């Protein structure tokens, strides 16, 4: 391909149009070798702190996204948002189109929102989310990923972000369901939405705090539980403070570096498993590849497995 916009500086200079063209190539897998080089270059130049919003449908993730986005832009920070929507069974495209629910100025080059269809993934993310987030993390100060929100199968979000925010709605029984599913092991921050519901919101916070005590983290981060209402602004500053606190702790403790290294390993494994199944993953352990970035490594392994196992 060799298209000039397959270069980080050219994409940045091209604004929204340049980034849209690059993301279109990611979604079609066009020019795989050059895309792998681009994405690995982006991984090397990651600058954004990426946060992920997860939780069941209707909990208020999009409203919270709007509030965070508005505040970050007011502070002069650039923001990239990936909104993963349920898929249309007929077209495979994004069904809801979260961009329509986000109040952004189309002329504002400091914010970019992309909707992606979850297709048949059961982990709350689109197949292209990892690659898109890797690229956007090199171009923006902040990246926010809003998962599709399918309830109990949302572990994928932890593979794509630095801080996981779990949203819980008062009076919904979410905390009990999440406890059963082990979802309480995932979040770095919990936000009880719709704080204006008063006693119900406070009860939900107590339930979540109790549920969190039943799971041991493998680090010493204490998960804050925040009452927030995006419509009234209550608790939004506390969410910002919690994100800043988690980022500072992760950088200071080395947890951020460890998480990103683990994520990159998971990207390769999940891609190989999705394409070649468990058999391919077993063979992948035998494939020797150059010490490259995760996207070039995955491509090299996939090509060798295609040779060994037949084209997939």
Is residue 19, in this structure, part of any structural domain at all? no
Nearest Cα residue to 302 out of 267, 265, 276, 270: 276
Give yes or no for residue 303 having a pLDDT over 70: yes
When pLDDT is averaged across residues 247-270 and rounded to a whole number, the result is 94
What is the model's pLDDT at position 8? 93
When pLDDT is averaged across residues 87-92 and rounded to a whole number, the result is 40
Is 305 in contact with 272 (CB distance < 8 Å)? yes
Q: What is the mean pLDDT of the chain?
A: 83
Is residue 132, in this structure, part of any structural domain at all? yes
Helix (H, G, I), strand (E, B) or coil at 121: coil
Report pLDDT digits (tens) over 12-50.
Answer: 999 899 999 999 888 887 778 889 999 999 999 999 999
> The domain spanning residue 52 has which CATH number?
3.40.50.300
Give yes or no for residue 99 having a pLDDT over 50: no
- Specify whether 84 is located in the same domain as 182: yes
Report pLDDT digits (tens) over 174-194.
Answer: 656 666 556 778 899 999 998
- Specify whether 223 is located in the same domain as 115: yes
Is residue 40, in this structure, part of any structural domain at all? no
Q: Which residue has the higher pLDDT, 88 or 311?
A: 311
- Specify whether 112 is located in the same domain as 52: yes
What is the model's pLDDT at position 287? 86
Is residue 20, in this structure, part of any structural domain at all? no
Is residue 11, in this structure, part of any structural domain at all? no
% of the chain with per-residue pLDDT over 90: 44
Q: How many domains does the chain have?
A: 2
- Specify whether 250 is located in the same domain as 265: no
Domain boundary among 256, 273, 294: 256
When pLDDT is averaged across residues 84-100 and rounded to a whole number, the result is 47
Nearest Cα residue to 157 out of 111, 122, 115, 201: 122
- Specify whether 141 is located in the same domain as 290: no
Give yes or no for residue 284 having a pLDDT over 80: yes
> pTM of the predicted model, to two decimals?
0.87
Is residue 25, in this structure, part of any structural domain at all? no
Give yes or no for residue 308 having a pLDDT over 60: yes
- Specify whether 293 is located in the same domain as 157: no
Report pLDDT digits (tens) over 118-150.
Answer: 654 444 455 688 999 999 999 999 999 998 765
Domain boundary among 237, 256, 275: 256
Is residue 29, in this structure, part of any structural domain at all? no
Of 76-85, 97-106, 285-294, minimum mean pLDDT range:
97-106
Give yes or no for residue 248 having a pLDDT over 70: yes
Report pLDDT digits (tens) over 141-175.
Answer: 999 999 876 544 456 788 889 999 999 888 766 65
Residue located via tokens 């979040």: 187
- Specify whether 252 is located in the same domain as 266: no
- Specify whether 279 is located in the same domain as 150: no
- Specify whether 200 is located in the same domain as 273: no
State phi, psi for 51 to the nearest 5 degrees: -115, 145
Residues 6+ apart with CB under 8 A from 8: 38, 41, 42, 45, 138, 139
- Specify whether 264 is located in the same domain as 129: no
Q: Collect contacts of 277-283 with beta carbons under 8 A, ≥24 apart.
A: 279/309, 280/305, 280/309, 280/312, 283/308, 283/309
Is 287 in contact with 305 (CB distance < 8 Å)? yes
What is the model's pLDDT at position 240? 97
Is residue 96, in this structure, part of any structural domain at all? yes
% of the chain with per-residue pLDDT over 70: 82
Is 88 in contact with 117 (CB distance < 8 Å)? yes
- Specify whether 113 is located in the same domain as 239: yes
Q: How far is CA 76 from CA 46, 114, 143, in A?
A: 19, 20, 14
- Specify whether 252 is located in the same domain as 272: no
Q: How far is CA 279 from CA 110, 288, 312, in A?
A: 44, 17, 13
What is the model's pLDDT at position 238? 97
Domain boundary among 241, 256, 271: 256
What is the model's pLDDT at position 121? 46
Domain that residue 227 falls in: 47-256
Give yes or no for residue 110 having a pLDDT over 60: yes
What is the model's pLDDT at position 2? 45
What is the model's pLDDT at position 292? 84
């Amino acid at each position: 391909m060799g298209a000039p916009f397959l270069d980080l500086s050219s994409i940045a200079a091209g604004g929204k149009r340049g980034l849209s063209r690059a993301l279109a190539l990611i979604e079609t897998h066009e020019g795989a070798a050059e895309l792998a080089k681009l994405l690995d270059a982006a991984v090397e130049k990651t600058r954004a702190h990426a946060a992920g919003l997860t939780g069941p449908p209707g909990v208020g993730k999009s409203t919270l996204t709007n509030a965070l986005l508005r505040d970050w832009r007011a502070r002069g920070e650039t923001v990239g948002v990936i909104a993963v929507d349920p898929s249309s069974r007929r077209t495979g495209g994004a069904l809801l189109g979260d961009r329509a629910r986000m109040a952004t100025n189309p002329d504002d080059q400091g914010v970019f929102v992309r909707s992606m269809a979850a297709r048949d993934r059961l982990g709350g993310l689109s197949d292209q989310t990892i690659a898109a987030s890797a690229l956007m993390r090199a171009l923006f100060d902040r990246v926010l990923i809003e998962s599709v929100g399918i309830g109990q199968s949302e572990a994928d979000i932890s593979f794509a972000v630095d801080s996981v925010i779990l949203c819980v709605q008062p009076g919904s029984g979410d905390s009990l369901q999440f406890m059963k599913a082990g979802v309480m092991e995932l979040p770095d921050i919990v936000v009880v939405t719709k704080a204006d519901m008063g006693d119900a919101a406070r009860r939900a916070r107590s339930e979540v705090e109790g549920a969190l005590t039943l799971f041991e983290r493998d680090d010493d981060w204490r998960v804050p539980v925040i009452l927030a209402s995006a419509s009234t602004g209550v608790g939004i500053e506390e969410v910002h403070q919690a994100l800043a606190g988690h980022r500072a702790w992760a950088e200071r403790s080395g947890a951020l570096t460890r998480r990103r290294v683990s994520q990159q390993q998971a990207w390769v494994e999940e891609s190989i498993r999705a394409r070649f199944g468990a058999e391919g993953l077993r063979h992948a352990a035998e494939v020797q590849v150059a010490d490259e970035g995760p996207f070039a490594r995955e491509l090299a392994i996939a090509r060798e497995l295609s040779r060994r196992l037949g084209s997939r």
